[in-house]
Structure 1
C-alpha cells in the first residue's frame, strides 16, 4: 500500500523500518557504495596525522616539568600527576576526534571530509556515538602491524568493513552531504 507513494527506484527494494511502521526506507545493499578502499587509505593517513598532532600538543606539557640543571626531574609525584594529566588530555582529544566530532558531522572526521566518505549504520542511517566509540576502541586492533590487520579485514569482507566496522555494525560509504550520494 505504501510502496506506491515511494519513488519508482525504491518501490521494489523498500522495507519497513519496524513492525507496524508506516515509514519505508530504501534497502541499502549496494556493494558499490562501500567500495571506497583508495579513499579510505588516504583518509586513514590524513586522520592518523591529524589525530597524532592534536594529542602531541598535550605532550608539550612535559616541557614544563621542573628540572634540575643536569636534566633530572625534581619531583616524582609531580611527574606522575603531569603524566596522568597529559594522558587524560590526549585521550580526551582522541575521543573528541574519532567519536564526538563525527557524531556531530554526519559520521565524518577531517580525513573523511577531505576524501568524500563517511560512516553510516548498516541500515544506512546516521551512526551513533556508541557505534563510533566501538570503532574507535577497536582502531588499535585494525592498525596493528602498520594497518595490515585492518587492510586484510577490509579486503576479505563483501561490504569492505574493518573489524571495528563489523563489531559496531557500521559501513564506510561515499557521501559528502546529509543524504547518501
Structure 2
C-alpha cells in the first residue's frame, strides 16, 4: 500500500475537502479487492456478535420486573417504563459502538480493528460522526437477510461500498498505514 491521489471518479462525488488526516488508500487491482471484501465479511460477523452481546446485557434490567408467583407481571405501567428504559439503553450502546467509538478510533469498530480495515471519507480523510451515524442507520438495510443486501451492494459497487457507505460518502479501506495504527 502507498499514498496516492484519488482517481477522478472519487473526486466527483466528494464533498469539499476539510482539514483531515490523509489515510493510506490501497491500490485496487480489480473493482472487487478480495482482501478487503473478505475482511469486511469477517468484520461484519464480529461486529454483529458484539452488537448483540452489548445491548443484550441491558436485557438484565428485565429481572427488575415485579412478578406474581405464577410468573405473570404485576404492573403494566412499570413494565412499560422498564421496557422503554431497556430499549433506550440498548440504542445508546449501539450508537456508541457504531458511531462514537469509531469516530474516536480512526473509523474502526472492534471487528474492523481485528481485520485491519477502517472507514474513511471518500476524499481520503477521517469519516465524521455524521457520516458514521448515517452508516449506522442504514445498517438495518445492509444487514437484511443475514447481510446479503450489504454483500450484494459491496460486490456491485465500484468502490466496494455497502448502501450505508454510498449514502454517507464513505469507503472502507485497509487501515494499517504509518501514523494511523
Q: CA deviation at 1:29?
A: 8.4
Deviation at 1:10, TM superposition (A): 5.7
Change (3 A) 1:27 1:74: closer
2:28 to 19, 31, 53: 31
**1:45-65 deviation line (CA, Å, top 9, x unaligned):** 000001110000001111221
Change (3 A) 1:32 1:174: farther
What residue in structure 1 maps to residue 52 of structure 2?
52
Q: CA deviation at 1:31?
A: 2.8
Structure 1 residues 26 and 63, CA, compared in 2 at 3 Å: closer, same or farther? closer
Question: Relative to structure 1, is the Cα distance of residues 97 and 77 closer, same or farther in structure 2, using a 3 angstrom cutoff?
Answer: same
* Contact kept in structure 2, 1:31 and 1:158, CA below 8 Å: no
| Distance (whole Å) between structure 2 residues aligned to residue 141 and residue 10 of structure 1 | 32
The structure-2 alpha-carbon separation of the partners of 1:51 and 1:10, relative to structure 1 and needing over 3 Å to count, comes to closer
Unaligned runs of 5+ in 2: none
The answer for the alignment partner of 1:95 in structure 2 is 95
Asked if the contact 2:142/2:149 (under 8 Å) is kept, the reply is yes
CA contact (8 A) 1:120 1:126 kept: yes
Larger radius of gyration: 1
Runs of 5+ consecutive residues of structure 1 not aligned to the other structure: 1-8, 20-24
> When the two structures are superposed, what TM-score results if normalisation uses the length of structure 1?
0.82
Residues in 1 aligned to 2:177 and 2:110: alpha-carbon distance in whole angstroms: 14
Q: How many residues align?
A: 165
Q: Residue in 1 aligned with 2:131? A: 131
Contact 2:55 2:90 survives alignment (8 Å): yes
Tell me: CA distance 1:10–1:96, structure 2 relative to 1, closer, same or farther (3 Å): closer
- The TM-score, its normalising length taken from structure 2, stands at 0.82
